[in-house]
Amino acid sequence: MAPTISKSVARTSVLIAAIRTYLSNKLVSFNNDALYKPYEQPLVKQYAKYCYTNPVDLCSDVRLTIIDPYALFFIRHESSPDILAEFFHTLPKFKPTVDQDPLYQSLISSGLDVSSVDSIAHFFKSSTTSEAQIMQGWTLLFDEMISNHVSCRTRLIDEFVLEGVSNGIKQVVILGSGLDTRAQRLPLDHSVTVFEVDVAEVVEYKRHVMESAMLAIEPISKAKNVDIKEDLRYLDTWTSKLKESGFQTDKPSIWILEGLLMYLQPEHTANLLNTISPMSSSGSAMIIQTTGVFDRTVPNYFGKNIFQQLAEEVFIPAPRPDELLTNIGFTNGLTTLYEKDLIKMYGTPGAVYQDPCTPFQRFTKSYKP
């Protein structure tokens, strides 16, 4: 039986993969070489053979697209319809008027029965359901706000990694790595090692999917990719496995904590960061993503995507992200960026966007002196 993801939090990584797929499809559909970096050209060229190039128009800014050619293969995995159905069944909760959406109406008229998770899964598993309809199902779960967010955070962290590597750092550690594909799609040479730490279920699912994905789309990275199958709560265990796998504490490293800390209680976040600090030599770099304190009075606080619901039910705020890094000695170049900052950095100058519910998501980066 093929590996799958059963835990609810881990399943959000498949939802993120759906958003990355949408953004990649959109980039290819624009057919504009200026939208991607030269090193990404081989990925775009290969991906164009596989992707659906007529995506729904959620992305109003052509510059807020990305290329992650491997995300599509997670969406095509045999377990994905069940994950899609689980999320799709909650649509009326965060989109009360979804029955008026033309995409939704189109799926209903094609035979989608929304009475249960099983009936939804049956539709998306059917051989008569097209890839376009499957992508429509995923697309109904998010909106332009969240697609902009995923695009910006992807580009920010990609650039952070490439900057660190260009400055001589040869170790990259991704904690709670999920379905991250930077070890395949970034231009990293043989001297770089990317360590990915996550629970065994997620790692095994990802490797199963990536085996066929990398045969279809050749990675541009030459880096060594090392998996650490362990729960991050077991600090002694995963750090021991990391060191046994070749991680050198006397060499600088890049630490990526993307989409992770919002699931941890404050004491667990502190314990995790305090564990990382003594393993990080001078010159090490870290970037973390945190969630702001929820404020229902902010205009447009409630978006039309499922992450708004997840934020209320699951996410744990971190009021002062700067202190999280200064407290563990990462003090050089300390910077916190909000979603509005990222859109200014990566979007088209002067463009008007749906107002993000700042300070909903923040990205803090710093270096250890």
Say if 218 falls within a structural domain: yes
195 and 132, same domain (yes or no): no
157 and 136, same domain (yes or no): no
Say if 121 falls within a structural domain: yes
Within 10 angstroms of residue 100's Cβ, the number of other Cβ atoms is 9
Domains identified in the chain, total number: 2
What's 336's domain CATH number? Answer: 3.40.50.150
Short-list 85, 27, 33, CA closest to 52 = 27
58 and 160, same domain (yes or no): no
169 and 127, same domain (yes or no): no
pLDDT in tens, 128-180: 999 999 999 999 998 888 888 899 999 999 999 999 999 999 999 999 999 99
203 and 75, same domain (yes or no): no
Q: How far is CA 76 from CA 13, 196, 218, 223, in A?
A: 14, 23, 18, 26
Reported as a pLDDT band with limits 50, 70 and 90, residue 41 is very high
- Final residue of a domain: which of 144, 168, 202? 144
- Final residue of a domain: which of 144, 164, 196? 144
Residue 294 is classified by DSSP as P
192 and 296, same domain (yes or no): yes
Asked if the model's pLDDT at residue 294 lies above 80, the reply is no
Kind plus residue range of the DSSP H or E element containing 204? helix 200-216
Give the pLDDT confidence score for residue 214 in this predicted structure.
97
Mean model confidence pLDDT for the chain = 90
Tokens of 42: 């081989």
**The domain containing residue 58 runs over which residues?**
8-144
- Final residue of a domain: which of 144, 174, 206? 144
β-pairing, 332-338 with 361-367? Answer: antiparallel
159 and 275, same domain (yes or no): yes
Q: Which residues is 286 bridged to in the sheet?
A: 255, 366
d(CA 351, CA 238): 44
135 and 239, same domain (yes or no): no
Vertex 163 angle, CA 160 and 168, to 5°: 125
Give the pLDDT confidence score for residue 62 in this predicted structure.
85
318 and 191, same domain (yes or no): yes
33 and 107, same domain (yes or no): yes
Q: What residues have CB less than 8 Å from 22, skipping those under 6 apart? A: 55, 56, 58, 59, 135, 138, 139, 142, 147
131 and 16, same domain (yes or no): yes
Short-list 227, 188, 223, CA closest to 207 = 227
As a whole number, mean pLDDT of residues 62-75 equals 95
